[in-house]
């Protein structure tokens, strides 16, 4: 599908959508302040209508959904029998249909699995991406957008991160979470509205930001994403995702036993960290680049960006045993980059540890 935003002056697009418009740092600033919105072409929209939809999704996923009110936002994970993350989705219900916003690459696998799990229940999940797109931004920024409202409930998902949802648990040790003031929402819009937004941007009536800007703000907020931080071994605990995507007190679902055991009795084998990268050579690592301590590979970079305030930053997943004061080196195709780690999930995570709160690393002087 050709992006309608390709016609906006300065637009750089690829198969995922609008990457940027020539000024990624300025776009980040505008997006964070509510002066711009971001077309999220790398998202897909699944619709799950039917009387049994909420209890059905509740029984299959990590989130408690049976009492989800129309317009209320949450998120869910689908786990394998060993507790590893298979799928993730943002969740919004309008009273008749539950809407799932997913990474586009995960939409077909998730839909296929959901359809196999219907049995005789009154649910009919489908891909609604031909009808709907997704626009992201602050809640104030999205006032320039007309969300879909098929039942009179505006389809605007408000990101719960990093607040600890009911039944959730936070592992991050920082006394001041960098996402605490994060203001992020995603509006489901008709394709006709998407065209209107593109036309308004092309004439200068509406400011846009690209996917690169949206991702930089996500990384700075330590916000995990399935397409970036998740591999076939990932546990929710490793990414601090018990915060918003797992309800520890709900009924049985696939993978629940592992979730409970790791949280109550054990420790996740890996942990997510934030990296402040040496920017002297203007090199950013790519996802998959190795993180080393001395000569030992201890993990990999999952996401990286040049942030408009924090400079070059990244998220990485490393072994739990990696010392929290270790100095990292990231091996890239353009040379090594030194990196200071900031602990997100500490080695003590799990076993419902009483984890001390630590001060954050200071922001770079501007």
Using the Cα atoms of residue 153, residue 250, residue 44 and residue 128 in order, give the sign of their dihedral: negative
Q: Domain count for the chain, please give it.
A: 2
Q: Do residues 41 and 137 both lie within one domain?
A: yes
Predicted structure pTM score: 0.95
Q: Is a pLDDT exceeding 80 seen at residue 342?
A: yes
Look up tokens 């709907």; give the residue.
132
Asked if residue 203 belongs to a domain, the reply is yes
Examine the pLDDT at 354 and tell me if it is beyond 70.
Answer: no
CATH for 109? 3.30.1360.120
Out of 179, 202, 229, a domain closes at 229
- Are 281 and 207 found together in one domain? no
168 and 316 co-located in one domain: no
Residues 327 and 180 in one domain: no
Query: Looking at the domain assignment, is residue 134 inside a domain?
Result: yes
Phi–psi pair at 257, nearest 5 degrees: -60, -45
Residues 278, 131: one domain? no
Q: Could you tell me if residue 262 is inside a domain?
A: no
Co-location of 218 and 281 in the same domain: no
Percent of the chain surpassing pLDDT 90 = 90
Residue 277 and residue 212 share a domain = no
Q: Tell whether 35 and 177 lie within a shared domain.
A: yes
Whether 239 is in a domain gets the answer no
Check whether residue 199 and residue 284 sit in a common domain: no
Distance between terminal CA atoms of the chain?
Answer: 41
Q: What is the CATH number of the domain that holds 304?
A: 2.40.30.110
pLDDT band at 362 (very low <50, low <70, confident <90, very high): low
| Residues 218 and 278 occupy one common structural domain | no
The pLDDT tens digits for 52-78 are: 999 999 999 999 999 999 999 999 999
Q: Which domain holds residue 281?
A: 269-344
> Averaged over 299-312, what is the pLDDT?
97
Name the residue among 147, 266, 171 with its Cα closest to residue 224. 171
Q: Is the peptide bond before 204 cis (omega within 30 degrees of 0)?
A: no
Co-location of 37 and 149 in the same domain: yes
Pair (221, 303) in one structural domain: no
For 238, list phi and psi in degrees, rounded to 5.
Answer: -65, -25
Q: Is the pLDDT of residue 285 over 70?
A: yes
């Amino acid at each position: 599908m050709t992006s309608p935003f390709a016609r906006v002056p300065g637009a750089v697009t690829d198969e995922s959508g609008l990457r940027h418009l020539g000024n990624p740092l300025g776009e980040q600033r505008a997006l964070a302040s509510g002066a711009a919105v971001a077309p999220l072409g790398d998202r897909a929209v699944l619709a799950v209508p039917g009387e049994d939809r909420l209890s059905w999704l509740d029984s299959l996923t990590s989130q408690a959904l049976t009492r989800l009110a129309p317009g209320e936002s949450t998120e869910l994970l689908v786990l394998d029998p060993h507790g590893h993350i298979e799928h993730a989705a943002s969740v919004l219900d309008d009273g008749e249909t539950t809407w799932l916003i997913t990474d586009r690459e995960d939409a077909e696998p998730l839909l296929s699995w959901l359809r196999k799990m219907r049995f005789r229940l009154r649910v009919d999940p489908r891909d609604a991406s031909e009808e709907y797109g997704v626009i992201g931004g602050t809640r104030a920024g999205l006032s320039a957008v007309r969300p879909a409202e098929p039942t009179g409930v505006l389809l605007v998902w408000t990101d719960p991160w990093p607040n600890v949802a009911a039944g959730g648990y936070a592992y991050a040790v920082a006394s001041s979470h960098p996402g605490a003031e994060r203001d992020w929402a995603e509006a489901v819009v008709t394709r006709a509205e998407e065209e209107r937004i593109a036309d308004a941007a092309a004439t200068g009536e509406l400011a846009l930001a690209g996917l690169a800007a949206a991702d930089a703000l996500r990384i700075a907020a330590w916000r995990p994403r399935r397409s970036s931080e998740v591999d076939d071994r990932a546990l929710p605990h490793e990414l601090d995702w018990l915060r918003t995507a797992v309800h520890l007190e709900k009924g049985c679902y696939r993978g629940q036993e592992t979730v409970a055991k790791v949280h109550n009795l054990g420790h996740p084998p890996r942990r997510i960290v934030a990296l402040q990268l040496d920017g002297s050579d203007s090199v950013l690592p790519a996802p998959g680049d190795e993180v080393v301590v001395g000569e030992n590979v201890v993990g990999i970079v999952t996401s990286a960006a040049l942030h408009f305030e924090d400079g070059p930053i990244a998220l990485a997943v490393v072994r739990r045993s990696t010392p929290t004061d270790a100095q990292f080196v990231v091996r890239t195709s353009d040379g090594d980059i030194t990196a200071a780690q900031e602990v997100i999930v500490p080695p003590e995570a799990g076993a419902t540890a009483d984890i001390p709160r630590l001060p954050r690393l200071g922001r770079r002087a501007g």
